[in-house]
Amino acid sequence: MSKSYDAIIIGGGHNGLTNAAYLARAGKKVLVLERRYVLGGAAVTEEIIPGFKFSVCSYVVSLLRPEIIRDLDLPRHGLEILPLDGTFTPMPNGDYLWRVNDHAKTRRELVRHSRLDAEAYDEFGKEMVQMCRFVKPLLAMTPPDPTSLHPGGLRKFAFLARRFQSLPAEEKYNLVQLMTMSAADFLDQWFETDVLKATMSASGIIGTFLGVRSPGTAYVLLHHYMGEIDGAFRAWGFSRGGTGAISNAIGDAAREAGAEIRMEAPVAKILTRNGRASGVVLQSGEEIHAKIVSSSVDPNLTFLKMLDATDLPAEFLEEVRRYKYRGSSGKVNLALDALPEFKCLPAEASAKAGHHLRGAISISPSVDYMERAYDQAKYGEFSRRPYIDMVIPSLTDTSLAPPGKHVLSCFVQYAPYKLKNASWENRREEFGNAVIDTISEYAPNLKNIIIGKQVLTPLDIEEQIGLTEGNIFQGELSLEQLFFLRPVAGWARYRTPIKNLYMCGSATHPGGGIMGAPGRLAALEILKDLGAH
Amino acid sequence: MTSRDIIVIGAGQNSLVAAFYLARAGHKPLILERRPVVGGAAVAEEFHPGFRASVLEGFHGPLAPAIANDMQLERHGAQFLEGACRLCAPHPDGRALRLHADARKSAEAIASFSKADAAKYIELAETLRSASGLVQDLLLMTPPDIDHPSSADAWNLLGAGRKFRRLGKKNMQRLIRWGPMAAADFVAEFFDTELLRASIAARGIFGAAAGPWSAGTTALLLLRCGAAGLPGVGAAQVRGGADALSNALAAAVQQAGAEIRTNAEVVRILVRDGAVSGIALSTGEEISAKAVVSGADPKRTFLNLLEPVHLAPSFLQKMRHYRSSGAVARVLLTLDGLPAFPALQSLSEAERFDVLASRIHIGPEIDYLERAFDASKYGEFSRAPYLEASIPSLLDPSLAPAGKHVMTIHMQYAPYNLRSTDKGNSQREGTRARLSAEAASQAKAQRLASAPSPSNWPAQRDALADAVIKTVAEYAPDLPSKILARRVITPLDLENDYSLTGGHISHGELALDQLFTMRPLLGFARYAAPICGLFLCGSGTHPGIGLAGASGLNASRQIARSLRRS
């Protein structure tokens, strides 16, 4: 029996830390318990190979909420976002599509593929910004419960209805389509160039077990458009020192505000006394007590592992068990001796040597390619020719690799958590090779320049990072698991059936990505309740 | 040029229903049908000497209750035949699952597969029954005006809202969560038996260009099962085939005071000063009218029958994007005697008769259904398709000579846009192209040349029939030996013969983004077209599924109202 706190936060991921920082700033006595030796959860930087620092899981940043950056004064705590310029898509026929932040350049490039698409592209960008403007307030809003007649909730719905009403007809139309359509169908209405549609639709499937032609993926497309850096929509970037630096910055902000952070302190159980959370027990057996417990880990760990079934209403448990994770992606991190040479655009040929390697490199040559990758995964196989989103952060941030050497970080989809009659243990090598082979088709020199690699299957992500079924968003971003349905209908307001136990992770609205919004919104709700005490 | 009060384009079931109610409201509608027979897609034809069959859907889902009473179809000669068995799903392992109108009876059958599933089936049936009132309301409601909701809209929604609240918190939350889900996930929440999962999930994909893993298919499943009850299939067959029902509807319409002209093809909807002034027939004859009600699908109405100048460019563009590429084909067989399904040998004579007269669902697993769908995504028809076969001549001997039978088969998936089979020009990626505009445009031209197209159907219609027959034969090995003649209806035929744009039997894809206030387009879901005096009443309007004739009924209500105002 040691000293007691106002709040214990389970998990030192970016959401847990954000939650802690906001509570500490409100003068609460806060303790963060992190299972691992590093902070950050999935937003973590590790030196897996001596001299090479990998953003092991999450590798780019865009969704981090500006109000959090402001409130916590993250730049002063070392947060520095470096621009990620453009997306480069090599094609099997030797051509490529290279969109950059420079509008004129991108336009010239698009005209090369289709004059019509070049026109539509600007329109599309404007429309998406409008859509984001509409949806943005939702990201800063605790979801109302449509089944209750609570005046606050009704007011929120009225507010949303009025805003929708006030939209021009065109935007209403686009919005309902984004909420209901598949990314591919949605983009089909705007563009004709296959590779363009394929590359854009990719952001509609990330973190879901859906194909680009599955309804609902258009929303995820929007979700990723929401990214906001210095107010510019759809701007993605690196954080200097890898994504772990973001977690560390938030961690420092929390510490400065008085929060205490303990590493290598895995929580075994959440203590409850007559229906109220009263603290936690560490795996070491140590008991720590607090007024409230806020869990940033996913519902499976929180409710099914850290609590006993007897603590929870049966119906709630049923819903928690039903909540879908379905990890569908893996990660391959490579330490490189030199830069990969894409045969469709060798470094010396490109305008500014290797400039196209400074942005995202997307293996998404056609919509059918993307859909076929999904088809294989549906039946329990990893994609032989997967969708890959690559970045070489060491080009922008030299601190990540020794001089002249580089780190290549590859996000890979699809890799289903459940393989049909096979275990990931003995398929990991094969999976890594499939990825390397796929990239080599476009950059033949890759195999000769690899000096080290880390392959993360969904199983590894589950075991190492603690994300159930390896889902990077702590649960699929599918329509039935969004807003007031996330994670469980009726329990989307960060509270749980157990008094004084809260959720503050990506499994709550507005979901995954290095956004911090769940952590912040949960903190605001917690403070309301603590105030009421 | 003659002048009329209201002209209704097409004599499909929704058109007839709409015309009936307009006539009852004191109007004198003139129905113009392109073909020699009424019924639109709900027709039966003698496709082989002595053999008749419903060309498209042979069973009738529940009619909107009002329609059945108001139009007194029995009195007009419609004789509904209905077996006790609704759906029979044979399994390759030689077993067969039988689902009945009575949930308890179905549960007994399910129990032999899984006791747990039997209990769950009852639970689901109960949930759906409690929600059926709400579903009926939604189906028979005019979608609210999203721009300026009227008090009536508010009232309707309030009514639905009250029914919704009456479901209780748990069911409310479930319905909200279920709507956008994939049918495969939905059935998995209830059942363990793959065969049962697939049979129920099929309600979410029937007629749609979507697979059981496509999000939103649960909404269709719930609408169908909410309206018809589990297993969510229309069960009634009309003596003489689908057109007997159409003829009864027509008789009721005429008695109510409407006039029907067949062999009268409307080729133009005439517009003067922004308002509808009448129509022009293929013969050149023009008929003026105060109002024109189109039972044709939205694309045909707005993109073929109207001069583009009368519509806003943005509206036209959206209409072009309205998804109406079908994935359904039909195969009609004449049989020299009943095929033997080994899976049914254990049944008594009477039981077997009952089963064969119902829908025979072929699609034993979710993955089987999804694989069937996969092919269509790349412009190929399923080699192992999802089928629903029936032998209507069992309940209705008038359809075939004594001792002989007809089998009708609904086949999915047969994509309207079909890839050519000769590999030569199909999807060949150009070899290293120069990075120039020409190269890109060349590559594009090449792609377009090999792009899937309905023009490839005539060459593959027989391959399709073979695949279908082969698949049925896996469950009834002696079927091929019993076939006397066959007729294949491809999506292209559906478009050409029944003027269904894109060959879609529901006048447009049944997907979340094309339902309710979004059917056919957001802001135009209230049956009135953006041209004064022009209205829609076909399946391309809400609800489009669930209750037969509901679109026509809803439309007539709106039309009568707006005609009173003007």
Pairing of strands B405-412, B386-390: antiparallel
The pLDDT assigned to A351 comes to: 52
- Written as six digits, the tokens of A417 are 């958590």
Which residue in B has a C-alpha nearest to residue A180's C-alpha? B513
Which residue in B has a C-alpha nearest to residue A194's C-alpha? B444
Please tell me if residue A114 touches chain B, with a CB cutoff of 8 Å. yes
Q: Do B522 and A172 touch (CB under 8 A)?
A: yes
Q: Do B176 and A489 touch (CB under 8 A)?
A: yes
Q: Which position has the higher pLDDT, A342 or A165? A: A342
Q: How far is it, in rounded angstroms, from Cα B281 to Cα A421?
A: 63
- For residue A93, give the nearest of B176, B179, B433 by CB distance: B433
The DSSP symbol for A61 reads: B
Partners of B292 in the beta sheet?
B7, B534
Residue A299 parent element (H or E): helix A299-299
Cα of B221 to nearest chain A Cα, Å: 16
- Written as six digits, the tokens of A240 are 């200097």
Please tell me if residue B214 touches chain A, with a CB cutoff of 8 Å. yes
Nearest to B44 by CA among B254, B264, B247: B247
Tens-digit pLDDT profile for residues B245-266: 899 999 999 999 999 999 999 9
Among residues 489-518 of chain A, which lie with CB inside 8 Å of chain B?
489-490
Give Cβ neighbours of residue B369 (< 8 Å, ≥ 6 apart).
Answer: B198, B201, B202, B205, B211, B212, B363, B386
**ipTM of the complex, rounded to two decimals:** 0.92
When pLDDT is cut at 50, 70 and 90, the band that residue B426 belongs to is very low
Give me the residue label for tokens 């991921």: A13
- For residue B432, give the nearest of A94, A114, A185 by CB distance: A94
Q: Do A176 and B169 touch (CB under 8 A)?
A: no
Which residue in A has a C-alpha nearest to residue B148's C-alpha? A165
Residue B518 with chain A: CB contacts under 8 Å: 176, 180
Please tell me if residue B518 touches chain A, with a CB cutoff of 8 Å. yes
- Work out whether the CA dihedral A292, A294, A300, A306 comes out positive or negative: negative
User: In sequence order, which ranges of B378-456 are alpha helices (DSSP H)?
Assistant: 437-450
When pLDDT is cut at 50, 70 and 90, the band that residue A1 belongs to is very low
The pLDDT assigned to A83 comes to: 85
Q: Do B318 and A173 touch (CB under 8 A)?
A: yes
Cα of A190 to nearest chain B Cα, Å: 10
Residue B165 with chain A: CB contacts under 8 Å: 147
* Cα torsion through B10, B13, B16, B21, rounded to 10: -140
Tens-digit pLDDT profile for residues A460-477: 999 999 999 999 999 998
Q: Give chain B's radius of gyration (CA, Å).
A: 24
CB B38 within 8 Å of CB B76: no
In angstroms, what CA-CA distances link B551 with B64, B225, B448?
10, 18, 37
CB B503 within 8 Å of CB B495: yes
- Flag whether the pTM goes above 0.90: yes
Task: Return the minimum-mean-pLDDT range out of A371-375, A511-515, B319-323, B349-353.
Answer: A511-515
- For residue A322, give the nearest of B176, B189, B447 by CB distance: B189
Q: Report whether pLDDT(A166) > 90.
A: no
Nearest to A422 by CA among A468, A380, A372: A380
- Optimal mutation site among B365, B513, B524, interface A, most CBs of chain A within 10 A: B513
Q: How far is it, in rounded angstroms, from Cα B134 to Cα B140?
A: 10
Q: Do B170 and A315 touch (CB under 8 A)?
A: yes
Q: Do B522 and A176 touch (CB under 8 A)?
A: yes
The pLDDT assigned to A423 comes to: 94
Q: Which position has the higher pLDDT, B94 or A150? A: B94
Question: Could you tell me how far CA B356 lies from the centroid of its own chain?
Answer: 22
Please tell me if residue B152 touches chain A, with a CB cutoff of 8 Å. no
Question: Could you tell me how far CA A307 lies from the centroid of its own chain?
Answer: 26
Please tell me if residue B438 touches chain A, with a CB cutoff of 8 Å. no
Question: Could you tell me how far CA B216 lies from the centroid of its own chain?
Answer: 17
Q: Do A490 and B180 touch (CB under 8 A)?
A: no
- Written as six digits, the tokens of B63 are 């009619």
Q: How far is it, in rounded angstroms, from Cα B173 to Cα A143?
A: 14
Among residues 167-226 of chain A, which lie with CB inside 8 Å of chain B?
169-170, 172-173, 176-177, 180-181, 185, 188-189, 192, 194, 210, 213-216
Cα of B181 to nearest chain A Cα, Å: 6
Among residues 105-144 of chain B, which lie with CB inside 8 Å of chain A?
none
Please tell me if residue B162 touches chain A, with a CB cutoff of 8 Å. no
Q: Do A147 and B436 touch (CB under 8 A)?
A: no
Task: Return the minimum-mean-pLDDT range out of A57-71, A192-206, A386-400, A517-531.
Answer: A57-71
Q: Report whether pLDDT(B435) > 60.
A: no
Tens-digit pLDDT profile for residues B98-154: 999 999 999 999 999 999 999 999 999 999 998 888 888 889 989 988 777 777 777
Among residues 438-497 of chain A, which lie with CB inside 8 Å of chain B?
478-480, 485, 489-490
